[in-house]
């Protein structure tokens, strides 16, 4: 079973390989990161590590027993006990429940290790896999949105055990 690992400096080569290998797959459901992301990857990776050290983000990778990255599960915009969840799973690893398991594990970490009380997430209506992951992980829909020019839904997960919304 893949392991959820907090982002580290030594993850850079495997993470870059993951992003390159899945670029076209990800671009089918989310905006492409652009060529600059790949050209400036080392600096971007270090910036994420710096921001993580400051507590503004919590970045995680889903890594298999061989060190291959199968997914990313991240908390960004950490402030006042809340954060926004984002995730992406490799095409070859999709449909196996890995995203749901990783989101559940990160939600647990968010409440126990990071002291968060609420997570937010968003997805487009044309991304049914993401909507299923959020529902299975306990996120409740909170409203209609427009995300990257496409209709979507916002979600929330209350980590205190209270009512969502």
In a domain, 81, yes or no: yes
- Copy the structure tokens of residue 20: 């390159």
Can you give the pLDDT at residue 1?
82
Over residues 124-144, mean pLDDT: 95
What average pLDDT does the chain have? 95
First to last CA, the chain: 33
Q: Classify residue 149: in a domain, yes or no.
A: yes
Question: pLDDT tens across 81-115, in order?
Answer: 999 999 999 999 999 999 999 999 999 999 999 99
Q: Is the dihedral of CA 95, 140, 27, 98 positive or negative?
A: negative
Q: What is the arithmetic mean of pLDDT over 121-141? A: 95
Q: What is the CATH number of the domain that holds 58?
A: 3.40.630.30
| Cβ–Cβ < 8 Å for 105, 4 | yes
Q: Write out the residue range of the structural domain in which residue 20 sits.
A: 3-158
Burial class (CB in 10 A: 0-12, 13-18, 19+), 149: exposed
Q: Which of 120, 132, 127 is nearest to 148 (CA)?
A: 127
Query: Is residue 11 assigned to a domain?
Result: yes
pLDDT tens, 22-75?
999 998 888 889 999 999 999 999 999 999 999 999 999 999 999 999 999 999
> What's the CA angle centered on 32, arms 29 and 38, to 5 degrees?
140
User: Does some domain include residue 163?
Assistant: no
The arithmetic mean of pLDDT across residues 150-160, rounded, is 96
Q: Is the pLDDT of residue 17 over 60?
A: yes
145 falls within a domain:
yes
Q: Kindly state whether residue 75 falls inside one of the protein's structural domains.
A: yes
Task: Please tell me the total count of domains within the chain.
Answer: 1
Q: Which residues of 7-149 form beta strands (DSSP E)?
A: 58-63, 69-79, 82-89, 118-124, 140-147
Q: How many residues are listed for the chain in this entry?
A: 165
Confidence of residue 162 (pLDDT cuts 50, 70, 90): low
* 164 pLDDT above the threshold of 80: no
Give residues with Cβ within 8 angstroms of 102, minimum separation 6. 2, 4, 60, 62, 71, 73, 87, 89
Per the domain annotation, does 165 fall within a domain?
no
């Amino acid at each position: 079973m893949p392991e959820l690992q907090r982002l580290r400096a030594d993850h850079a080569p495997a993470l870059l390989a993951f992003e390159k290998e899945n670029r076209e797959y990800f671009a089918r459901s989310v905006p492409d990161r652009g060529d600059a992301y790949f050209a400036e990857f080392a600096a971007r990776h270090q910036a994420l590590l710096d921001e993580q050290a400051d507590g503004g983000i919590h970045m995680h990778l889903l890594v298999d027993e061989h060190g291959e990255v199968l997914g990313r599960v991240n908390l960004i915009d950490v402030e006042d006990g809340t954060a926004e969840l984002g995730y992406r799973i490799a095409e070859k690893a999709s449909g196996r429940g890995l995203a749901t398991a990783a989101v559940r594990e990160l939600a647990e970490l968010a409440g126990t290790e990071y002291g968060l009380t609420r997570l937010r997430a968003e997805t487009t209506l044309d991304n049914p896999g993401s909507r299923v992951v959020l529902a299975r992980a306990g996120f409740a829909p909170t409203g209609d949105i427009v995300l990257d020019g496409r209709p979507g839904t916002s979600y929330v997960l209350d980590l205190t055990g209270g009512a969502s919304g």
